[in-house]
Structure 1
């Protein structure tokens, strides 16, 4: 146990994805071991890259818990790779985030830019990279589909493109939790709880690294969209940026994304995983309807300021009713000004404002707007971390499935505990433009306290 905890501590930042193709064979699933060979040895142990270790287990009543995501990844594997030093990936054959090179000994910090800072060529290159990821089958990962979550015999692992794997991971995190043979939507594995900002940080890191490897450019960084000064108008919802849309929400024909479809669009089936994938993957076109719903708006800079003033990362009961909670204000379940009134704001409000696919939150990652939006949410998370000098020990103890501080964030390999995402983004090899200005302004707004 001591060795396992030590390895987990040094392996932070090494997570790349989930359901590795090489481990989703009948033999691997029957053995419950996901320790692939790297350079001829399990987890690259002969090269001192990693070791194959058993996971600790939590005693559960088999008659009460059925969710395959519970206590990740115990439902699938009792053993998997834990990577040493700067190595990462499901087989320890890659580098952890922020490190590069054959021996993972080159460290660098990428800078994420605001989307409107990019030149026309840089912007078009970014859109073309996303399109390439949308139509390139992932060589490393597969996705899970089933029409019956109650019976493992119906589970299938099928091919998906790199971008669709990214979208599927978000969808997978939001499916209702299966407990005592019934479903509950009171929480999810990445939302409505303390793991929310850190889990989404991990998801973006996954896509960023996947695109770096796809295009052979380790300097590629995801941009963000600072919507806080938009005066309730989406300035990137046009042909120059993400594409215009018609009254039905269809993306304009000259956009890179006009022909995109949404994976797992039949998300409302609680007892199924990505039912649409079995019938041909994309059964719904990507849609966008910015400002169409009169009950929505783009959050303002004043909303951002109010959100950043809350000093507690999260508060009891650590869900969407938490008061005076930075996490809950950022996620958008309480009014950021008073921190207690039930409200739809910040992260949640922007999803609703963009409408279409973005407003269907389980499948919202299908829209590239999701990336730009969550990269900005991640920037605000980073501002709060720096101002409050947050470290993993400030991650709260709680009893919510998927959000507990010592749980492996689901569904990533190898394990990185939720608490480890509560630290400076430089640990993961990136920062944002204008961080100094944001942090100085926040200090002024908060009175430097």
Structure 2
């Protein structure tokens, strides 16, 4: 990587809305005393205030009140410990400096509606597939200029945190990894739930963060119409996209074929070392490669009947809002989603590393398509979000660990409101 920044103090990682997924470089370089202000300039104006984009304001400390053991966790109350003043963006603007259009909008003033189209990858032309792969690979290699990620070897000591450069793609890979880390009580790490899985916020977390990654890849590539395709695994009995025309063939050990560009990919966050945050090598050449073993275990791909059963569930989610929920479309579909991860084995079956495999997005976008179908057929809106009391998954809980507060319930509406349309034909 190009650059490392060492800071011997307690650092709270924050993940901002798009183009602010991670640490805004200007707000962390050279800083030794926390909390501090993070109100960057946009076109010469703080938070773009002169352009009507936002303003610098004191950041509220309380986002979601969690169990007492969680309050020591460095993600708790993000980003209140690190930044006491931040840009508060007006509608249609997001980002650390309010310099980016909210998904679904474009133009110099973010006042022009914009729609992207997610397609069935098996129905795309070879040229469309190659363009998608080229954009994804470019995003994997293009280093973000203004943002960095956090790497540390000791979450308990709270010292010697290190910031690293990361590519456009790796910002999401890191975000998914960090959202699934165990909670830090100050004395031990423990699993009770994580921010992205196992409860009502499963769909909303992945929906919003994937939309943000699409936005980042649009900016990195200059292709304003870039969108992730989906793979309809429920219509197949094996992985028909696991070849070099799509996401790469694999050998008996799960290694990607050298004839696929994905054989060059390395994971930004590798093995799950305890008490660490994304312990990674600075040189990508020393990082772990993708391993994928489709169908080499007892798991099978779910069928269309399995999916229809989930979509017929009478409730979006039910108490106790976890893996024990009954008559819950969320739990039913999340369970099918889990089965697909298990089917692939390799890193797809390791939650903290799964997003490092590009098939992760073909899978998750398909799951989001099902989520959208359920929303539309049941006419769901944010006010219909269940009264979940699970920490980090409630209706007014922020989608963590993000910088700006976007509530889970805001994602319970047709995805067309975020400027995305699914094309089945």
TM-score, normalization: structure 1?
Answer: 0.86
Measure the CA separation in 2 of the matches of 1:429 and 1:28.
40
Q: 1:55 is matched with which residue?
A: 59
Q: 1:218 is matched with which residue?
A: 224
1:86 aligns with 2:87: no
From the superposition, tell whether residues 61 and 352 of structure 1 become closer, same or farther in structure 2 (CA, over 3 Å). Answer: closer
Q: 2:383 is matched with which residue?
A: 393
Partner of residue 331 from structure 1, selected from 319, 334, 352 = 334
Report if the CA contact (8 A) 2:72-2:184 is conserved: yes
Measure the CA separation in 2 of the matches of 1:275 and 1:434.
40
1:95-114 matches, cutoff 5 A? 95-114=101-120
- The CA deviation at 1:63 is 8.0
From the superposition, tell whether residues 175 and 282 of structure 1 become closer, same or farther in structure 2 (CA, over 3 Å). Answer: farther
1:256 aligns with 2:261: yes
Report if the CA contact (8 A) 1:148-1:271 is conserved: yes
Is the deviation greater in 373-382 or in 58-67?
Answer: 58-67
Q: 2:161 is matched with which residue?
A: 155
Measure the CA separation in 1 of the matches of 2:46 and 2:134.
36
1:241 aligns with 2:246: yes
5+ residue gaps, structure 1, are: 1-12, 333-345, 436-449
- The CA deviation at 1:16 is 5.5
Deviation digits for residues 398-439 of structure 1 (CA, Å, limit 9, x no counterpart)? 33332122222123232211211111111210010139xxxx
- The CA deviation at 1:317 is 1.5
SS of the residue corresponding to residue 102 of structure 1 reads coil
1:29-428 matches, cutoff 5 A? 30-58=34-62, 65-179=71-185, 181-230=187-236, 232-267=237-272, 269-277=273-281, 282-293=286-297, 295-332=298-335, 346-428=336-418
Measure the CA separation in 2 of the matches of 1:63 and 1:433.
45
Q: 2:4 is matched with which residue?
A: none
Instruction: Provide runs of 4+ in structure 1 moved above 3 Å.
Output: 13-16, 26-29, 58-64, 277-282
Report if the CA contact (8 A) 1:263-1:281 is conserved: no
Deviation digits for residues 178-201 of structure 1 (CA, Å, limit 9, x no counterpart)? 135332212101111111111111
SS of the residue corresponding to residue 141 of structure 1 reads strand
Report if the CA contact (8 A) 2:73-2:186 is conserved: no
C-alpha root-mean-square deviation of aligned residues, in Å? Answer: 2.1
- The CA deviation at 1:24 is 2.2
From the superposition, tell whether residues 378 and 15 of structure 1 become closer, same or farther in structure 2 (CA, over 3 Å). Answer: farther
Deviation digits for residues 4-59 of structure 1 (CA, Å, limit 9, x no counterpart)? xxxxxxxxx97852322222234386243221111222211122110122233338
TM-score, normalization: structure 2?
Answer: 0.90
Measure the CA separation in 2 of the matches of 1:141 and 1:174.
21
5+ residue gaps, structure 2, are: 1-16
Report if the CA contact (8 A) 1:146-1:275 is conserved: yes
Measure the CA separation in 2 of the matches of 1:15 and 1:70.
22
